[in-house]
């Protein structure tokens, strides 16, 4: 089967991993997500993943209270490591070969981020999971996805969400909201559609790295994007 993209960066939010639960990691959901990833891996596509941590701890939200922002952000980074370990375990159970690289040093648990090793893993057909964001406070995992996507020289960044694309407003609040099939980065930024933070969108725009926003809960959606079918919202220059 012909694929449009040979190497991708998949951004998985922590919220996606908890499914309909209020907190934590839903094992049924994570197995379903891994099944979608496995199908694309079998097509020979090289897959890098950046995972968020909002299902366990959200730094910015906690920092709005009494917690110092820097401390809260580091706690959020550690939450992404926990999610990465859960993804790694689920992938191993179906025969995939995952490797976690963390922007924070936790050598007893995961490898540190080393670009050359990550590139080599991808070329071997292994799946690289990037944890701990950029390793710096004040930067979101969306920005980490854009950054790692550029460093890994991927063809596209795919942001997996609970919604099947970018809408004019929140479709869960406004039933009349319309979905965009295509957008420019400038439109996404100027309309403040909040699909990704402005820093991530600007990075992708400046490096001419396309973005697709889609629902990870829509069966086969990830594969349809990879083979070039219309799915989600495509954001381009």
Collapsing DSSP to helix, strand or coil, 115 comes out as: helix
What residues form the annotated binding site for ATP? 11-14, 54, 58, 161, 167, 170
Instruction: Tell me if 4 sits within 8 A of 227, measured CB to CB.
Output: yes
Give 45's Cβ-side CA count (13 Å radius).
29
Q: Cα-flanking dihedrals φ and ψ of residue 212, to 5°?
A: -130, 130
What residues form the annotated binding site? 11-14, 53-54, 58, 73, 134-141, 161, 167, 170
Question: What Cα–Cα distance (Å) separates residue 48 from each residue in 12, 37, 134, 193, 203?
Answer: 11, 10, 15, 25, 18
What residues form the annotated binding site for UMP? 53, 73, 134-141
CB-based contacts of 127, cutoff 8 Å, min separation 6: 37, 41, 47, 48, 49, 91, 96, 97, 98, 99, 121
Give 147's Cβ-side CA count (13 Å radius).
19
């Amino acid at each position: 089967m012909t694929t449009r993209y040979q190497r991708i960066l998949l951004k998985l939010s922590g919220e996606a991993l908890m499914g309909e639960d209020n907190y934590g990691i839903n094992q049924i959901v994570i197995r379903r997500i891994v099944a979608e990833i496995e199908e694309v891996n079998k097509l020979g596509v090289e897959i890098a993943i950046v995972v968020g941590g909002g299902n366990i701890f959200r730094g910015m939200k906690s920092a709005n209270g009494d917690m110092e922002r820097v401390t809260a952000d580091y706690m959020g980074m550690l939450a992404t490591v926990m999610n990465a370990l859960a993804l790694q375990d689920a992938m191993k159970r179906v025969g995939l070969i995952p490797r976690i690289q963390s922007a924070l040093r936790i050598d007893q648990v995961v490898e540190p981020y080393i670009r050359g090793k990550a590139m080599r893993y991808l070329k071997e057909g292994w799946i690289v999971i990037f944890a701990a964001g950029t390793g710096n406070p004040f930067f979101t995992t969306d920005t980490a996805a854009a950054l790692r996507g550029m460093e890994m020289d991927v063809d596209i960044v795919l942001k997996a969400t609970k919604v099947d694309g970018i809408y004019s407003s929140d479709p869960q609040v406004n039933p009349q909201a319309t979905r965009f099939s295509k957008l420019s980065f400038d439109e996404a930024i100027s309309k403040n559609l909040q699909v990704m933070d402005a820093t991530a969108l600007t990075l992708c725009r400046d490096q001419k790295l396309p973005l697709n926003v889609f629902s990870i809960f829509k069966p086969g959606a990830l594969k349809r994007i990879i083979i070039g079918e219309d799915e989600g919202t495509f954001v381009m220059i």
